[in-house]
């Protein structure tokens, strides 16, 4: 019995929490999905406009420009989040220097609001203040955690690589000999890629495979349909 309990406790301690994956996973999923949808949509738009000679060029341009854009965009946006976190940290430092007792009371009230008795909350707050008050306030007051800390370079690299990988999937369809064959190949291959992206992202995030996959496939299908419609209009109008 005791061995079974020990085994269970060991398994609980070894749980695979996924919050530490939030930064790069969000960037990777967004990049792969965007790579699939934007590249396939652009090529389908070119195909429906009747421009067989530009399909490969459009695909390569979409992958290159998209990967660079995603990387820069992720880096800049996540770096901005870093700046906000650093600003909060500096402000908290000043507050602790100016009025440590008020900050101690603030931390005590935070623990009280979570269901801890006043006496125990005061004791916990004092012990944490004695050890590292800044870390305690950053964690419990502002919600800053090392596991979910914004990492600009990691997000940028994950985004660029996943966008390129996603974009290369529909690009394969552009090698079909005819316009009709290109359109059908791009669509079918893209749907396969979207399904794979949904399954992989759901597995990594620990979410529902069906719901995640349907959401990604529906979004991709909508993007391709709209772009194909625009391409058809351009073809009819002779643009």
Nearest to 54 by CA among 66, 45, 63: 45
Q: Convert the pLDDT of each residue in 186-220 to its tens digit.
A: 888 888 988 988 888 788 777 788 988 898 888 88
Asked if residues 23 and 148 have their Cβ atoms less than 8 Å apart, the reply is yes
Please give the pLDDT value at position 77.
82
Going from N- to C-terminal start, the domains of the chain cover 20-85+152-237
User: What is the CA 119 to chain-centroid distance, rounded?
Assistant: 41
Cβ neighbors of 154 (< 8 A, separation 6 or more) are 23, 24, 27
pTM: 0.64
Lowest mean pLDDT among 82-91, 104-113, 142-151, 195-204: 142-151
């Amino acid at each position: 019995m005791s061995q079974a309990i020990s085994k269970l406790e060991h398994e609980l301690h070894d749980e695979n929490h996924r919050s530490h994956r939030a930064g790069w996973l969000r960037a990777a999923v967004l990049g792969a999905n965007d790579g699939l949808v934007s590249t396939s949509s652009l090529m389908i738009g070119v195909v429906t406009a009747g421009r067989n000679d530009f399909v490969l060029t459009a695909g390569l341009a979409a992958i290159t420009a998209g990967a660079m854009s995603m990387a820069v965009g992720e880096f800049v946006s996540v770096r901005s989040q870093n700046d906000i976190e650093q600003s909060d940290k500096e402000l908290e430092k000043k507050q602790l220097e100016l009025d440590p007792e008020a900050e101690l009371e603030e931390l005590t009230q935070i623990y009280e609001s979570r269901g801890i008795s006043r006496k125990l909350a005061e004791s916990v707050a004092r012990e944490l203040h004695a050890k590292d008050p800044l870390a305690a306030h950053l964690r419990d007051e502002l919600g800053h955690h090392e596991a979910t800390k914004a990492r600009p370079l990691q997000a940028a690299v994950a985004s660029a690589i996943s966008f390129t990988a996603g974009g290369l999937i529909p690009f394969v369809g552009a090698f079909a000999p005819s316009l009709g064959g290109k359109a059908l190949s791009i669509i079918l291959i893209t749907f396969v890629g979207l399904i794979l992206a949904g399954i992989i992202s759901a597995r990594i995030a620990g979410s529902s495979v069906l719901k995640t996959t349907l959401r990604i496939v529906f979004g991709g299908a909508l993007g391709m349909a709209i772009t194909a419609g625009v391409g058809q209009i351009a073809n009819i109008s002779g643009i």
